[in-house]
Copies of this chain bind each other. A is one copy, B any other.
Amino acid sequence: MSENFSMVAPHSKRPVNEDKIFAASRQAKEAIEKYGFENVINSTVGALLDDNGKLLVLPTVIKVLKNLPPEEIAAYAPIAGLPEYLETVKTAAFRECMPEGYIEAIATPGGSGAIRHTIWNYSEMGDYILTSDWYWGPYKTIAEEHGRKITTYTFFDENKNFNIKSFREKLNQLLKIQDRVVILLNSPAHNPTGFSLEISEWEEVINILKNFAKNKDKKIILFSDIAYIDFAGEKNKSRQFMKLFGNLPENILTIVSFSMSKGYTLYGMRSGAMICITSNKSIAEEFKNVGQFSNRGVWSNGTRSAMKILAEIFKNSELLSKVETERNVLKKMLNERAQSFVNEAKKIGLDICPYKSGFFITIPCNNPELVSEKLKKDNIFVVPLQKGIRFAVCSVSKEKCLKAPLKLLNAIKNI
């Protein structure tokens, strides 16, 4: 019996890395046991926690679930999703900013499933998928699982604005070697930086796409990841950019990924959707057919009860208003934590990525692994990224968010 013997197919043999978030989170828990919660800053958790480290849940959402009749929990949903859910996600995603065009939706397990279907169905084996140099790690995992590669442009320019030049150049390069490009763009409240494109920056992005789309042999798929949109300011203002997805050339397909994970605190119920916007009716139908086939061919149907919850909430304006009121409390808390961090960082001269809203703040630095090891000795637990460290303001009290920047600065300086 050999230790090197392997049963998986060659493409599935991958280096085994310990999950960094998991490892850091485990060590944080050990430190809390030893030194007490108040003496530890655990900023590894990517969910909203209260000041005592307990998960924050929108009570109305859970109440709606608990009031569902058993059949709405137990029964299969249709493969594409409950029809009323597929209607509701459009409202929930766009609110008053519905773009013009043909719009179809397919239920997916969170945003991850939407990324999977988009990459698998709209790019080819071996293709490059384009995203920014600061990006959510699983983009790479999803691409690699399916035999694709991630390539990046520089997210920020020297003024900490969206680096439109780098975006254009990189897309230009890619379109020279590929006839189709999937672009993953996470805004507003980008994970891990908290950056959001301004509406003028979005206009520039769309103009660039339109320009490239003049070559009708090229197909551009813009995947708009709005996972954190419900924590990115006023609901219609933060959605304004989606209006720009209407009336585009037919060889630009926009796919918006909706998720119930953050906005409805239903992380563990695995409910999201992919929503297409296109000016060509048959492309919308193709999207629907392909998504349905892929659902059946990967995970079958989605979590019915979560879909039903969203439909119930939007059917009843009183419920919706309750959910929004409850969410506003969390939003306010999140903003206060983030502002404490950002102001303190500015005061002491800690350089951070341009944060506007969302769950995370990122601090660029050399040797992030070493910095995060150093911080552990100070009972601060962060997630090391490739070019910096991620601090989850979503899960750390305002008081600790105020304390952290100086400790981070010292750790970075002293390596």
Contacts and interface: CB of A to CB of B under 8 A. Distances in A.
Contacts of A108: 299
Interface stretch (A118-126, A380-388, A398-406): A118-126
Given A299-B299, A305-B269, A286 B116 contact: no
A329 interface: no
Number of chain A interface residues as a range: 35 or more
A79 B121 CA distance: 24
Nearest to A300: B112
Nearest to A58: B74
A27 interface: no
Contact of A123 (B9, B47, B138): B9
Contacts of A123: 9
A62 interface: yes
Contacts of A348: none
A22 B290 contact: no
A54 B70 CA distance: 11
Contacts of A290: 8, 12, 14
Given A70-B62, A304-B268, A298 B8 contact: no
Contacts of A239: none
Given A7-B251, A54-B71, 18 more contacts: A5-B251, A7-B221, A8-B286, A9-B121, A12-B121, A12-B294, A14-B290, A57-B70, A65-B73, A75-B268, A76-B261, A109-B300, A112-B300, A113-B300, A116-B298, A125-B125, A270-B300, A299-B299
A79 B305 contact: no
Contacts of A14: 289-290, 293
Contact of A113 (B10, B75, B78, B298): B298
Interface in A148-190: 180
Contacts of A70: 55, 57, 59, 62
A19 B79 contact: yes
Which 8 A-B pairs have CB atoms at the shortest separation, nearest pair first? A145-B297, A268-B304, A112-B300, A12-B121, A109-B299, A57-B70, A57-B74, A141-B297
